Homo-oligomer: A and B are copies of this chain.
Amino acid sequence: MALKINSAIAVCGGKLLKLSHFSSCTGTDMDVNLYLPKQYYTSIDDSKLIPSVLYLSGLTCTPQNASEKAFWQIQADKFGFAVIFPDTSPRGDGVATDPEGSWDFGLGAGFYVNATEQPYSSHYKMYDYVHKELPEVLAEEFGSKVDFFKNISITGHSMGGFGALSGYLKNINRYKSCSAFAPIVNPSAVPWGQKAFTGYLGSSNKEAWDGYDPTKLIKHVENLNGNKILIHVGSNDPFLEKHLRPHLLQEAAKGTFWEGKIEVNFEDGFDHSYYFISTFVPQHAEFHAKHLGLI
């Protein structure tokens, strides 16, 4: 569990920490980046913890991609929250990956679920890792000034957008708000999700699939505080029709506590890249800042 600070890089008014630690969930060393905003270094009010935003990256990413390209830092400084950038899968010797070597399953594609099928169940416990172990590990080092448990919001991109939606609905009393960039919303019904769920959860385990699928979860989770879920997706996203299909979440919400609360913004001309993400990070930052009590 001991956290190693590999580097502390000055960015904007704060620091990006490149961290690593042994994870008992995954049985591997895990990399994670943490942006501590300027308020971490300058605040004189120690009685108020700095809230945090958990950002889950998409297929193939490491903690570096979003740290370098999504440009959360200036927003984190503006509002005063920390940003957590976990890795997208366990890595290292002995970690199984797709036997076909594809980029949409296995290494870099953990889908934020707890695998039940061999050989993946040995290490691919990304659900427990990001929602349970990681906050404990970070709090051990930074918990006296940053809140990783109670005043925290969740967001992510693509596979990580799925991870955010799924993790939010499964922990509705935990996260203050949820947003997503170009998320997979109905993994059970689209190729990326079906491949991942088949590999990690087994082809016939419908209960396990439903237990992670936002379009199923949303029917059983009350939305007591009336929060909306904020989604942006680009109209030129090449994965929109085949893998993302965000309208399916809106349809699933009909007749539930969430009807009318799934805000999907189609953005004309935008694609699936970090150019898209970085453009709309300011809106998502403001959304979360409101729910975190920062504005």
Q: Are A270 and B68 in contact (CB under 8 A)?
A: no
Q: Are A68 and B10 in contact (CB under 8 A)?
A: no
Q: Are B270 and A10 in contact (CB under 8 A)?
A: yes
- Chain A window 1-44, contacts with chain B (Cβ cutoff 8 Å), 1 for yes, 0 for no: 00000000111100110000000000000000000000000000
Q: Which residue of B lies closest to A16 (CB)?
A: B275
Q: Are B69 and A279 in contact (CB under 8 A)?
A: no
A234: CB under 8 A from chain B?
yes
Q: Are B234 and A275 in contact (CB under 8 A)?
A: no
Q: Which residue of B lies closest to A7 (CB)?
A: B271
Q: Are B69 and A9 in contact (CB under 8 A)?
A: no
Q: Are B279 and A12 in contact (CB under 8 A)?
A: yes
- Chain A window 265-295, contacts with chain B (Cβ cutoff 8 Å), 1 for yes, 0 for no: 0011111011110110000000000000000
**Interface residue tally of chain A, by bracket?**
20 to 34
A71: CB under 8 A from chain B?
yes
Q: Are A275 and B9 in contact (CB under 8 A)?
A: yes
Q: Which residue of B lies closest to A270 (CB)?
A: B10
Q: How far is the CB of A116 from chain B (nearest CB, A)?
A: 37
CA–CA, A68 to B271, complex, Å?
Answer: 14
Kindly list chain B residues whose C-beta atoms are within 8 Å of the C-beta of A11.
275-276, 278-279
Q: Are A68 and B274 in contact (CB under 8 A)?
A: yes
Kindly list chain B residues whose C-beta atoms are within 8 Å of the C-beta of A68.
68-69, 274-275
CA–CA, A58 to B275, complex, Å?
Answer: 21
A203: CB under 8 A from chain B?
no
A236: CB under 8 A from chain B?
yes
Q: How far is the CB of A204 from chain B (nearest CB, A)?
A: 42
User: Which A residues between 52 and 87 are near B, CB-CB below 8 angstroms?
Assistant: 68-69, 71, 73
Cβ-neighbour of A10 out of B69, B269, B274 (below 8 A)? B269
Q: Are B9 and A271 in contact (CB under 8 A)?
A: yes
Q: Output the residue of A11, A234, A236 with the most chain B CB within 10 A.
A: A11
The interface of chain A, by Cβ under 8 A from chain B, is 9-12, 15-16, 68-69, 71, 73, 234, 236, 267-271, 273-276, 278-279
| New A-B pairs, 16, CB < 8 Å, besides A9-B271, A10-B267, A11-B278 | A9-B273, A9-B275, A10-B234, A10-B268, A10-B269, A10-B270, A10-B279, A11-B275, A11-B276, A11-B279, A12-B278, A12-B279, A16-B275, A68-B68, A68-B274, A69-B69
**A-B CB proximity, top 5 nearest:** A10-B269, A11-B275, A10-B270, A12-B279, A9-B275
